A and B are shown apart, each in its own frame.
Chain A
Amino acid sequence: MTPQIPPRDIKNLSAYLDEQLPERERKRLEARLAEDAILRRVLENLRQTRNALRSVPQVRAPRNFTLTPEMAGKRNFRPRLFTSMQLVSAMASFLFFMVFFGDMIFNVILPGSLPASQPEVITIAEADGESEAEGETVEMDLAAEDSAEESSRIGESVPAEAPAPLAAAEAEFTDTDAPETEELQTESQAEAGADDTTSQAPEAGQAPPGVISTPTIMLESEPDESLALSTPIYQTTPSITAEPELEATPTISITEAEPPASGKEIPWLRIIEGVLAFMAVGSGVSAFIFRRLSRAL
């Protein structure tokens, strides 16, 4: 026969075995156990079962379960650092070569063309603005050559005083070896003509467009000739020292003074190049070291 015991009694008996029953319930159960044989037998079976379960040997762990840095996820930090260092190195190298070759192109390959073009532009600008006489003489000289024959045809549009200074300037330009007395006369005439042309410069400029544009093109392409065209005029005239035409010389000196201004930028460029080179090499070496460390771990 199987004795029927309520689940509540089984629960209390089990807790009683483990001394987990409250004091009042424990006393009540002990009183019942003293009277009920079935309850005592059930309690004994439970005790044997519990002892059997507690007799099962403990098993030793077959190995240590300690964590390695890889298991703990600590190794992920180094590859990230290593790849970021590689990226920094690559970007610094790219920027370094861009700056370096840019510097080379502007300072080594182009320096012959760059200073040559700047002075003419400035001298022309200066000549147009400050010493109109110089520009007028150049225009006058070249206009005299080109439009010598056209003047007869365009005679109506060209002012009547123009031929006199043009002829004087032409004589001046062609006969550089003439005596000083003649030169003084021609120069005074040229000055007078220049004054006239300055007053009538817009007219001369408007009349034949090709005449005005020609000297500017020649000046930009052949800078030495512009100096050759202008300097003989001033050298042959004794009044050059006192005349405002001498202001053309400072314009040349201004253009020559520009290289030192650009030279101030060179140290900054060198510093940038140095910093980029240092970053490229430094980060590259760091990436290499971190890569070796990540492999070693």
Chain B
Amino acid sequence: MDEIGLIQSAKKGDLDAFNRLVLEYQDLAFNVAYRMMNDPAIAEDITQDAFISAYRKLNSFRGGSFKAWLLRIVTNASYDELRRHKRRPTTSLEPINEDDEIESPVWLADPGESPEELAARGELANAIQNCLEKLGIDFKTVVVLVDLQGFDYTEAAATIKKPLGTVKSRLARARLRMQNCLQGFGELLPAQYRLENESTV
């Protein structure tokens, strides 16, 4: 069944149809939440809550891109969680990445790579995640959607409910800040990703 048919069935209360949509989009939703939050446990909670919320609000979906509509729920939930964390900052007692291989999502991806390549990609992923944390929420969202998840500008604009020009300007500024941030990691990054040791602004 096509996506529109599944959505119509889910609107009529067919939970199985909605769960097929969940299986289709759960990786994307979890990735966005994980990149936004940098915490797999919180990302899990956000993703589950987002799907529950999406099912309950399904009648408010008036057509268009279901992916954009669903990820708007995920990003809004991430915004709420980030604001809550800002008000009440917490520190995890357990290491998330280096020493805890199971918790690190790096080890879940692309098993065909060599250990060196994997380590290099792991280093780069950690560096990018650190730089993402330094961005503001609005810039981070656009970078995650366009550069990390491969959305086009129109989908990103629909997801954050902003004009196309806003997406362009936010993305340009976010890339520039990421570039400046990643230059600080220098030799830690793989050779093909090393930037010239100059800032452009």
> Which residues of A come within 8 Å of B, CB atoms?
1-5, 7, 10-11, 13-15, 18, 20, 41-42, 44-46, 48-67, 69, 71-74
Contacts and interface: CB of A to CB of B under 8 A. Distances in A.
A20 B176 contact: no
Given A13-B172, A46-B179, A52-B128, A59 B18 contact: no
Interface string B94-107: 00000000000110
A78 to B, nearest CB: 15
B110 interface: yes
Given A49-B182, A66-B19, A20 B26 contact: no
Contact of A59 (B13, B51, B109, B198): B109
Contacts of A41: 196, 198, 200
Contacts of A48: 179, 192-195
Contacts of B73: none
Interface stretch (B60-68, B79-87, B141-149): B141-149
A53 B172 contact: no
Interface of B: 13, 15, 18-19, 22-23, 26-27, 29-31, 34, 40, 44, 47-48, 51-52, 55-56, 105-106, 108-110, 121, 124-125, 128, 143, 146-148, 150, 152-153, 168-169, 171-173, 175-176, 178-179, 182, 189, 192-196, 198-201
Contacts of B195: 45, 48-49
Contacts, number: 145
Given A57-B110, A65-B26, 13 more contacts: A1-B198, A5-B201, A7-B169, A13-B172, A14-B168, A18-B146, A20-B152, A45-B198, A52-B124, A56-B124, A58-B31, A61-B26, A66-B19
A66 to B, nearest CB: 4
Contact of A60 (B29, B108, B178): B108
Given A2-B201, A66-B22, A7 B172 contact: yes
A25 B105 CA distance: 41
Contacts of B179: 45-46, 48-49
Contacts of A56: 121, 124-125, 128, 148
Contacts of A58: 27, 31, 109
Binding site of A, secondary structure by majority: helix, strand, loop or mixed?
A: loop
A52 B182 contact: yes
Nearest to B56: A73
B124 A59 contact: no
Given A7-B173, A62-B44, A67 B19 contact: yes
Contacts of B19: 66-67
Interface of B is mostly: helix
Contacts of B15: 67, 69, 72, 74
Contacts of A72: 15, 18, 52, 55-56
A184 B178 CA distance: 139
A49 B125 contact: no
Could you say which of A4, A52, A69 has the most chain B C-beta atoms within 10 Å of its C-beta?
A52
A67 B47 contact: no
A50 B192 CA distance: 12
A55 B124 contact: yes
Contacts of A11: 168-169, 172-173
Contacts of A73: 56
Nearest to A20: B153
B46 to A, nearest CB: 10
Sort A-B residue pairs by CB-CB distance and give the 4 closest, nearest first. A57-B109, A14-B172, A53-B147, A59-B105
Given A2-B199, A20-B168, A57 B193 contact: no
Contacts of B121: 55-57
A15 B168 CA distance: 7
Contacts of B51: 65, 67
Contacts of B13: 74
Contacts of A52: 124, 128, 182, 189, 193
A68 B124 CA distance: 38
18 contacts: A3-B198, A3-B200, A7-B172, A48-B194, A49-B195, A51-B192, A52-B128, A53-B148, A55-B121, A55-B124, A58-B27, A59-B27, A59-B109, A60-B109, A61-B27, A62-B44, A65-B29, A71-B55
